[in-house]
A and B are shown apart, each in its own frame.
Chain A
């Protein structure tokens, strides 16, 4: 599928009158039913300066790139509902994920509708955000509450945005990493500032690890048993602007020690920044979702959930299984499946999933993964042959380019002779050949 292009009818604006900043975030979704909602939220920011700094940090992330992919403007998405606002975005290279969780105390206003949508972060708006000072008052509207009076001075500028598919793929993948993470450190403000001061300048090759030594947090090039690995350590600089404002930082790491997340506690808000294993690896290309996509989530579930849950509402598998009379045993798989198509986000600090339907068509999300698409093609073309298919051991031959690949699935190992498996040895998701074998097996063929 091609990159998604959408167009805002109007740009986000910020106006100041009688000492009050009025920020209106223009929104846009690929889903007509979301697009038709004029306004999701309207109210006051209780911490305008901190909020503005967090938004600036999000803008910095979505405009940055740490791989050869050139940085380009991407807008974040916002989920409104359950008395919270959540802003999410990715760097252009998809290696850095940022999410601002604005808790109920951070906003004082009315949730007119629930949903998730793209919001316009344009230059003039960001300039105006930069001007917000500590003691000022700011109102926020996600969407237009009222029709704007268009004068010759406020000429409407339509803005076109092209979202690459990897950006959307990142949104469907990142929660699968977050759910796998555990808290390793809690770093108080002063120590966090000192840690960031010791962050090596310039671009450094190789891994760096945050570890605690003699009560001090520090970066080291060698791991220790309790250290946290940070791939592409200079990406942490994206957080520097928030250091004077935060209370503390919590550091999380995935079980495989590849990915990590820094959660900045900012009073009534939390800003999470997750980092892919390295600069040249994005959350979109890791194939994590593939493990869960071999079984399709029934489409009625997607629509059903939207009726049951509001955006940002906690997704409790146990409660849902009781309320909806679903077998509890299938809930884990269902949770993973729903995460893989972006219906669930994950809050590492609260240790729970939350519901949000990405502002993209489900067909688009399902068609994103080329490995999945190619695996389906292998099955459709009857290019998967089982040599042995018994409980606990599967051996199959799968057609490759000019060669036959051998796939062996046994115990916890899924091995293949293809380039992908050779290069990553299973560390970056399963290859299309293993995927095809699994899909064919699950289909009972």
Chain B
């Protein structure tokens, strides 16, 4: 072979493509490819890149060729692509073709094109089997049509692969919806398929071995084209199509034509029910089993299989098993011991309440027929009491009474083990079986819950500041990785006070962190502020850093980190070695009074300016612990600041406000406007008396600000919210849905100085996106700035995250974690926000809320009356799904006697304060069940308010019995 000959062959191949000579391809391959496979393979791959692959067609040569510029596309047309892929199928090897996706679609068509088939038949490619298996096992699970696989198998190109054949067969074939499909054609195609013995003898049985989605294999018809009365079409409301279920047609046909043994089908359809397979597939086979109507002999034959349904999932499977058992339990060969052994664990499954409820009458009937088994059946029924569900336990108690097995010690032992689980009045019904101790508990210890929040110690762990350069270096890494604000503040300390530890090569040592920061984006706004600061300072500690300008002049609370960083940067420029006043001394954000006083003295001694914002945050963070250590030092503070600090420490109770001039004179070392100086007093006052009234601010420019003269106590109410959208039938904009939304009215204030911490985001007609918290880390940061007064945080969350039960984000979980901290105290607003958490859609929030409630009750930190009122307000306003709240509250039951008392108080208050006019919310019965149970457990009677509510609804059938039992206590 010489190069000349090869070049001729390749040119001939190119010519075939250019002339779209489909007829010439196979003769060319047969005559010219032998001996030139290597060159042709490479040429085909090049041709694919040129003709087939999508590319930018805007190059000059493409423009000349008449292609549309600026658009991506293929150079080759349909026939040219066809020629290249077909030649690839014929000549390429496994390695070359395994990444191509086009051959798969071409192979799919071999039964529709003689040319395709001839080429495959002639080339007999060895790569096809691994190629299609790779596609089958890949993420998409792609499979060729069943008829294609059979053709390839018959040609000896692929071997039989049961899993792949089963999947392919389950899909039956791809229907071409571009041409009209007639029902007759489909039925003919299906009938024709069943004429092939390999299909029904070898392949169809594999559908019971490999999981498929055959229940979804349908052919779509327009409604009016359907005529056959024998086919049970699947119909969808409002759809113009109906769907022909292929396998619902094929299985009955196989059975009626005796191509599938009826017992074989029954056994396998039953076995599928206990496999870890798709639930819709299980449903499909259950329907078929229903349709073929199993007789008693068949049921008895497969009874062991049916019994195993009781341990299977999903719940319709045990329910189906139970239905089948109802049809055969009277048969003499019914294996009762085995049935009882299998059904026993079902009685412990709380999620199977309905199935258990329908099993109990069956067990009673069986016991009647087989008196010898009454004891074992009673023991099985007793296990139902492990499920704390009142109606179910009531039914089980009735069953036990009917079984009347009174002398069994093992039964008594079993029932007594479940005493803590017994609901409501069930104990009375079970008295014949209960030990004396069990019934004695009917007189519970009366424990009183009193709202008595105790002050907890806050200064528990001093912050370890970096002592060496290595500590500073790795603190940068900690700061980058952590969402705790104090890590950034510890680093700031190093930048301010430990610059002497920085070695000469600090930029080189810090450069890995610089590189990391360049590649990080935080979804937490204050973290991005820290990032910007570090990017500025890491490689040059003296670099100029500026904060952003706020056009409207009012940063949000979450922007305060940036302001703090700017203050630190300014101090660094001035070569200050003193820390920020607001730097925490104790974890997580506290400042010890002695330390703050010492810092201020040091500032004054070094003649360093004090920033109003820095001092405001420091005041908000300084707790009144260790005052005795600070008191001797405070007199060393000069000027008006001494009075302010004495006020903050509780040594002075009077607020000293003066006019602008005197404040300027009294605080010469304080950098800030007159308003900011006034704001310092406002913050100091509100920090330690969050709910107090400070008339001193009346007449000052701050008097209209929230939290200055009075604490902001918003009025919460429900208002209608809605969503509009286009109705495409009427072409009109219509109200699609509406709902009730929790709302408040903002205070009159229009502007606050930056250091008026508690008031920053509460302005009329303003709810900026930058005020929203969005995530837990932002909640923690906010709280770290003003930890002693969580009221603004609670109100902010009420506005931005509590509009309705489906609105909550992870910031609500952040709030709950704050609630669980020792310094947190409840106000009207924070109690409401806490109550909202119990109705939130996010399960994580509700779980956490329950846990926090348990802690709060242990510490007597929650006013349960107020909490119950807030819950009643939310339930009355249809804030969220009631069951969420009921389940979250019920989870505190039986944690301890005090928790039961607390639950009684909460439910009492809810019932007394509900304002429901039309009808009870869905699942209200559940709430009443828990109420009755907790009344029995605590030995209480419904309070007057609750009784009034219950009387109002006592005639409603769904709750009539429960209310009657409750009122009779």
Q: What residues of chain A have their CB less than 8 Å away from a CB belonging to chain B?
A: 56, 60, 70, 72, 123-124, 127, 130-131, 133-135, 155, 157, 190, 193-194, 197, 200, 202, 204-206, 213-216, 219-222, 240-241, 243-244, 395, 400, 402-406, 408, 415, 417-419, 421-423, 425
Q: Is the CB of A415 within 8 A of B208?
A: no
- Give A220 to B478 CA distance when docked, in angstroms: 29
B306-328 residues with Cβ-Cβ distance < 8 A to A are 308, 311, 313
Q: Is the CB of A403 within 8 A of B515?
A: yes
Q: Is the CB of A244 within 8 A of B345?
A: yes
List residues of chain A with CB within 8 A of the CB of B852.
Answer: 222
Q: List 6 A-B contacts (CB under 8 A).
A: A200-B843, A220-B851, A221-B844, A400-B512, A404-B511, A425-B481
B770 CB–A CB distance under 8 Å: no
Q: Please pick, from B271, B417, B508, B894, the residue contacting A130 in the complex, using a CB distance under 8 A.
A: B271
Q: Is the CB of B512 within 8 A of A127?
A: no
List residues of chain A with CB within 8 A of the CB of B508.
Answer: 404
List residues of chain B with CB within 8 A of the CB of A56.
Answer: 276
Q: Is the CB of A402 within 8 A of B481?
A: no
Task: With both chains docked as a complex, state the minimum distance between the C-beta of B272 and any C-beta of chain A, in angstroms.
Answer: 9
List residues of chain B with CB within 8 A of the CB of A190.
Answer: 348, 386, 417
Mask for B267-303, Cβ within 8 A of A = 1, else 0? 0000100111000000000000000000000000000
B506-538 residues with Cβ-Cβ distance < 8 A to A are 508-513, 515-516
Q: A72-B137, A157-B162, A415-B470 are in contact. Are A193 and B844 (CB under 8 A)?
A: no
List residues of chain B with CB within 8 A of the CB of A403.
Answer: 511-512, 515
List residues of chain A with CB within 8 A of the CB of B813.
Answer: 206
Q: Please pick, from A194, A202, A425, the residue contacting B477 in the complex, using a CB distance under 8 A.
A: A425
Ranked nearest first, the 6 interchain pairs of A and B with the lowest CB-CB distance are A244-B345, A422-B477, A417-B512, A197-B350, A403-B512, A222-B851
Q: Is the CB of A123 within 8 A of B345?
A: no
List residues of chain A with CB within 8 A of the CB of B313.
Answer: 240
Task: With both chains docked as a complex, state the minimum distance between the C-beta of A286 and any C-beta of chain B, in angstroms.
Answer: 17
List residues of chain A with CB within 8 A of the CB of B823.
Answer: none
Q: A133-B308, A200-B843, A206-B844 are in contact. Are A214 and B477 (CB under 8 A)?
A: no
Task: With both chains docked as a complex, state the minimum distance between the C-beta of B380 and any C-beta of chain A, in angstroms.
Answer: 13
- Give A426 to B388 CA distance when docked, in angstroms: 45
List residues of chain A with CB within 8 A of the CB of B160.
Answer: 155
Q: Name the residue of chain B whose CB is nearest to the CB of A201.
A: B843
Task: With both chains docked as a complex, state the minimum distance between the C-beta of A194 and any C-beta of chain B, in angstroms.
Answer: 7
List residues of chain B with CB within 8 A of the CB of A221.
Answer: 844, 847-848, 851
Q: Please pick, from B209, B305, B513, the residue contacting A124 in the complex, using a CB distance under 8 A.
A: B209
Q: A130-B275, A422-B480 are in contact. Are A205 and B137 (CB under 8 A)?
A: no
Q: Is the CB of A222 within 8 A of B848?
A: yes
B154-175 residues with Cβ-Cβ distance < 8 A to A are 160, 162-163
Q: A60-B276, A206-B844, A220-B847 are in contact. Are A123 and B470 (CB under 8 A)?
A: no
B194 CB–A CB distance under 8 Å: no
Task: With both chains docked as a complex, state the minimum distance between the C-beta of A277 and any C-beta of chain B, in angstroms.
Answer: 16
Q: Is the CB of A417 within 8 A of B894?
A: no
Q: Secondary structure at chain B's binding surface: helix, strand, loop or mixed?
A: helix
Q: Is the CB of A405 within 8 A of B512?
A: yes
Q: Is the CB of B477 within 8 A of A417?
A: yes
Q: Is the CB of A127 within 8 A of B271?
A: yes
Q: A127-B209, A422-B477 are in contact. Are A205 and B844 (CB under 8 A)?
A: yes
Q: Name the residue of chain A whose CB is nearest to the CB of B160.
A: A155
Task: With both chains docked as a complex, state the minimum distance between the C-beta of A375 and any C-beta of chain B, in angstroms.
Answer: 17
Q: A194-B386, A417-B474, A425-B481 are in contact. Are A213 and B851 (CB under 8 A)?
A: no
B820 CB–A CB distance under 8 Å: yes
Q: Is the CB of B847 within 8 A of A200?
A: yes
List residues of chain B with CB within 8 A of the CB of A400.
Answer: 512
Known: A134-B341, A190-B386, A220-B847. 18 other contacts (CB 8 A): A70-B139, A72-B137, A123-B210, A124-B162, A127-B208, A130-B271, A190-B348, A193-B345, A200-B847, A202-B843, A204-B843, A219-B847, A222-B852, A244-B348, A403-B511, A417-B509, A419-B512, A425-B481
B436 CB–A CB distance under 8 Å: no
Task: With both chains docked as a complex, state the minimum distance between the C-beta of A42 and any C-beta of chain B, in angstroms.
Answer: 26
- Give A213 to B851 CA distance when docked, in angstroms: 12
B689 CB–A CB distance under 8 Å: no
B462-479 residues with Cβ-Cβ distance < 8 A to A are 470, 473-474, 477-478
- Give A423 to B160 CA distance when docked, in angstroms: 50
- Give A241 to B345 CA distance when docked, in angstroms: 11
Q: A134-B341, A206-B844 are in contact. Are A406 and B209 (CB under 8 A)?
A: no
B431 CB–A CB distance under 8 Å: no
Q: Is the CB of B477 within 8 A of A421?
A: yes
List residues of chain B with CB within 8 A of the CB of A216.
Answer: 894
List residues of chain A with CB within 8 A of the CB of B350.
Answer: 194, 197
Task: With both chains docked as a complex, state the minimum distance between the C-beta of A409 and any C-beta of chain B, in angstroms.
Answer: 11
Q: Name the residue of chain B whose CB is nearest to the CB of A60.
A: B276
B41 CB–A CB distance under 8 Å: no
B767-792 residues with Cβ-Cβ distance < 8 A to A are none
- Give A194 to B348 CA distance when docked, in angstroms: 8
Mask for B717-756, Cβ within 8 A of A = 1, else 0? 0000000000000000000000000000000000000000
- Give A401 to B515 CA distance when docked, in angstroms: 10
